[in-house]
């Protein structure tokens, strides 16, 4: 299904550019040193286990969005992986990784922004949210929708839920930081490079 409307380059150029600059500064000069220290003091097995656990916890988000996209076979694969990983290791090991499935499943999973894209809704305007990163009008709405399928949203008190999710997301920064570093070192205009990379990546996720 083709999107009915596509990305508008930057309706809030000064704010978006400043958001991009502050986010890049945060990732490269605050998050990177902190993550390097975390890598130094923790074994790889612990970081890998926490990353697998976080991915397993977010199973409802992937499962529900597959259903909303009428991708029932993919939803079944996600359920099977969740069942295997949870019963074998409480999700700390990706036991199901590499096992043959009836259909290929995107390792990064499905989210509500992708679901909106599959329904024919385009990106809208591009925006960079400070400390969060690149997004679009569609994906911003998608992030709000994803809250309802995020198990941490239902954890009480909220301080425990927020701190736990932030810690697990921090542990997964190893997947994000190299992208920021590569784009900022190789691109003439890192802002445009990040925008194009983000839009192309999200398009490929919707079309897969």
Cα dihedral 19, 21, 25, 31 in deg (nearest 10):
40
Q: Which residues have C-beta within 8 Å of that of residue 16, sequence separation ≥ 6?
A: 10, 126, 127, 128
Phi and psi of 63, rounded to 5°?
-65, -50
Over the chain (208 residues), what is each successive 10-residue block's mean pLDDT?
48 57 88 96 96 95 96 94 95 89 82 96 91 91 95 93 94 90 79 89 90
CA–CA–CA angle 114, 194, 59 (5° rounding): 30
Structure tokens at 152: 């941490």
State residue 179's pLDDT score: 85
Q: What pTM, to 2 d.p., does this model score?
A: 0.86
Find out whether 85 and 91 touch, Cβ atoms under 8 Å. Answer: yes
State residue 47's pLDDT score: 96
């Amino acid at each position: 299904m083709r999107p009915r409307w596509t990305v508008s380059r930057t309706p809030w150029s000064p704010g978006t550019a400043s958001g991009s600059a502050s986010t890049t500064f945060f990732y490269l000069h605050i998050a990177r040193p902190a993550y390097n220290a975390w890598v130094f003091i923790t074994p790889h097995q612990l970081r890998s286990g926490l990353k697998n656990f976080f991915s397993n916890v977010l199973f409802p988000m992937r499962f529900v969005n597959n259903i909303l996209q009428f991708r029932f076979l993919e939803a079944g694969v996600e359920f099977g992986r969740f069942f295997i990983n949870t019963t074998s290791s409480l999700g700390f090991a990706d036991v199901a990784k590499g096992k043959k499935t009836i259909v290929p499943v995107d390792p990064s999973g499905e989210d509500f922004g992708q679901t909106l894209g599959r329904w024919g809704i385009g990106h809208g305007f591009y925006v960079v949210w400070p400390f969060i990163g690149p997004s679009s009008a569609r994906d911003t709405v998608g992030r709000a929708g994803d809250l309802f399928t995020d198990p941490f949203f239902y954890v009480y008190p909220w301080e425990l839920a927020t701190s736990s999710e932030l810690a697990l997301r921090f542990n997964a920064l190893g997947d994000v930081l190299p992208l920021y570093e590569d784009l900022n070192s190789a691109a003439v205009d890192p802002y445009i490079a990040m925008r194009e990379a983000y839009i192309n990546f999200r398009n490929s996720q919707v079309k897969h």
